[in-house]
Structure 1
Amino acid sequence: MSKRAISTEQIHHPYRDPEGWDAHPVGVFKASTVLFKNTADLHQYRPRDGKSYRYGLHGTPTSYTLAARIATLESAEHCLLVPSGLAAVTLVSLGLLRPGDEVLVPDNVYGQNRYLSESLLPQFGIQYRFYDPLDAAGFEAMLSEKTKLVWLEAAGSITLEFPDLLGLMAACKKHGVITALDNTWGSGVAFNPFEIAPGVGVDVSMQALTKYASGGADVLMGSVCTRDLALHERLNHMHEHLGYGLGQNDVELVLRALPTLELRYRAQDASTRALAEWMLSRPEVAQVLHPALPDSPGHAYWQQTSSAGAACLFSVIFKPEYSSVQVDAFVDALSLFGIGYSWAGPMSLAVPYDMGRSRSLPSRLAPGRVVRFAIGLEAADDLQADLAQALAALAG
């Protein structure tokens, strides 16, 4: 046989890796095309069950491994991976809602979930209403035959009110309404979303794996977990239609970070509590928002459900005499805090917010400008010194 062209030789090279290789890191398998043994194998039905392969978009051994480990982290049976936390939110809402349905969303929900409810869902004939997550009785009165999905978020975005999860879920169970929890803050460490109390848990738990699961501030990814096979299949159907896929190098980075997730969570939690308590003593501050602080809204509900963890976020409301210009100057004066969105990475972050733009219902917050802090892995003493020097900028 004559020698083949170099391109043909390289594409059809006969070498295959031998049996017997094993290592702790998971191999990175990247492919669009999945090869079949023959046409009979090609025509064989392959369910989306994490055990068989059809096309790279639907999964490789690398992404199947990550899905299985996230399911274990969340105490779930099934897990779907998506390209971002927002993609996970979108998958749940579009997968479980139909024209004529209604979704109830907490007033302190993640901003992109709020925007999805206000702008996209109505285009599909889906109604939405916002509810107070600390008022389970008022929430139950809102439930109707049209209510098919309730979003929960613990703790609430930016202002970190901790919801009455047990009361809200009891009302949903009584009325047969599906519950979906944004569990990015808890990350599988603070509490078990499917057994928050004996016999009480959510139906769907999603995370932005961008945050704690990644930990490096260099990956965008999300997950949607369930225990119920019928719910999983509904979500899986929408997942396939949306064409969600992942880069396997990103999957590798999350797999590498998972073993240190709890260590990072505990370390950032401890630093965050120390800094939140210190800011509480400052004369410039009207209110500190952190679920572990007794005066923070929803503290008693946090104690009921997740006192084992409190993540890396806290927010400060400066007294009303400080203008937005002064508060921005404070943020600009910080040297160890980056100015940017997201959290749970190694670098601490600070972002000022105007909460009037993202709330519909009466607030339990003190008046004043809000700054949210995401505490990284720097030494807490260094961060405290940085906060102290930046507070001098308020006077200017």
Structure 2
Amino acid sequence: MKKAAQPYTYGLRGTPTTQALEQALDAMEGSAGTILVPSGLAAITVPLLAFLGAGDHLLCVDSVYGPTRRFCQQMLQRTGVEVSYFHPSDDIESHMRPNTRVVFLEAPGSNTFEMLDVAAAAQKAHAGGALVMMDNTWATPLYFRPLQHGVDLSIHALTKYPAGHSDVMLGSVSATAQAYPRLREAQMALGVNAAPDDAYQTLRGLRTMPTRVERHGASALALAHWLEGHAMVARVLHPALPSFPGHDLYRRQFSGSTGLFGIVLGGMGDTEAAAFLDALELFGLGYSWGGFESLALQPDLSDRTVAHGPTDGTIIRLQIGLEDVEDLKDDLEKGFAAIARLR
């Protein structure tokens, strides 16, 4: 033990089960090393803490997951890290500073699904001396492998599609050979790792993940096409739709789509959104998508600084589960009928 020659010495440093999941994710991501942490949010905060310190600048896409922004504003800035945001369509070169150390990406954007050119952003970030991190939870490594596009650390909420049954909280960060040692060092210094039981359940989930995600994606796309023709829907926010503004970027970079997208209820506000959601019976109300069940909610976009939400109505975010598509259509029609009764 003094020579640290044994593969397993202390639970925090890893177990055969957690190592098996790390290796499986490395194979999926094409990464040199992966760490596991107790939640998707921890998979964001740990690498940010690992690579940022007082006096550094973090450049973050404005359509980022809300809790990511909260951590940046409440915790990172308190430690002396400068934080600024850019619109997904911006050329990040103009936003880079001499002290920019990390560029944080998410594509599609959280709740509004904006696309960005990942490889172009990574190239500009590296030219400015910054590391690139990306939240890849929406696409999963089945449909997009960030490291192949120049990203240094790929972040994933394993809580969602990999585990797949809404009964596990887990996150992962998969890194290049250059970034992994510092990432792993920070994980050990912070004292966070995953429980073997959670790792086992996620390994089990990986066995059916391709089949489940294919079904999620196909059902979501079928509903997205149907909703495009609905009189109460101003727009459908789904990157795989040809009508979506970022569709060309999606097709160039992604090999498939998953079950999460949004609709804009044309000319409507909070009252109509509440009536719509309250009328749903098959869809649950909830945040943590990626499980077997369909969910809906009205997202809060008030924290955006440049990538503001739509002005032509309110967004309803839909997570399409494994239920029958026709049953889901019938349930959504109940929501639209509830809006009609308000008029």
* Whole-angstrom CA distance in 1 between matches of 2:245 and 2:112: 9
Deviation of the 1:376 alpha carbon: 0.5
Deviation of the 1:295 alpha carbon: 2.8
Conservation of the 8 A alpha-carbon contact between 2:62 and 2:306: yes
TM-score for both structures, normalised by structure 1 = 0.84
From 18, 29, 42, the equivalent of 1:63 is: 18
* Whole-angstrom CA distance in 2 between matches of 1:172 and 1:239: 24
Structure 2 residue runs without a partner (length 5+) = none
Matches within 5 A, 1:1-396: 42-46=1-5, 52-136=7-91, 139-196=92-149, 201-228=150-177, 230-306=178-254, 308-320=255-267, 322-355=268-301, 357-363=302-308, 365-395=310-340, 396=342
Q: 3-state SS of the aligned residue for 2:111?
A: coil
Conservation of the 8 A alpha-carbon contact between 1:312 and 1:374: yes
> Who is 1:16 aligned against?
none
After superposition, the C-alpha distances for 1:262-308 in whole angstroms (9 at most, x for unaligned) are 111111100001111111111111111000112323222111100x2
Partner amino acid, structure 2, of 1:118: Q
* Whole-angstrom CA distance in 2 between matches of 1:329 and 1:275: 20
Q: CA RMSD, aligned part only?
A: 1.4
After superposition, the C-alpha distances for 1:57-89 in whole angstroms (9 at most, x for unaligned) are 111111110111011111112000000011010
Structure 1 residue runs without a partner (length 5+) = 1-41
Conservation of the 8 A alpha-carbon contact between 2:156 and 2:172: yes
Deviation of the 1:362 alpha carbon: 4.9
Change (3 A) 1:166 1:53: same
Conservation of the 8 A alpha-carbon contact between 2:134 and 2:153: yes
* Whole-angstrom CA distance in 2 between matches of 1:156 and 1:323: 22
Conservation of the 8 A alpha-carbon contact between 2:106 and 2:134: yes
* Whole-angstrom CA distance in 2 between matches of 1:298 and 1:163: 8
Q: 3-state SS of the aligned residue for 2:189?
A: helix
Deviation of the 1:165 alpha carbon: 1.5
After superposition, the C-alpha distances for 1:1-55 in whole angstroms (9 at most, x for unaligned) are xxxxxxxxxxxxxxxxxxxxxxxxxxxxxxxxxxxxxxxxx21235xxxx71120
Partner amino acid, structure 1, of 2:319: A
Deviation of the 1:176 alpha carbon: 2.6
Partner amino acid, structure 2, of 1:370: I
Q: Percent same amino acid among aligned pairs?
A: 38
Partner amino acid, structure 2, of 1:128: V
Q: 3-state SS of the aligned residue for 1:43?
A: coil
Deviation of the 1:363 alpha carbon: 3.4
After superposition, the C-alpha distances for 1:333-352 in whole angstroms (9 at most, x for unaligned) are 11110101111101000001
- The total of aligned residue pairs comes to 341
* Whole-angstrom CA distance in 2 between matches of 1:222 and 1:206: 8
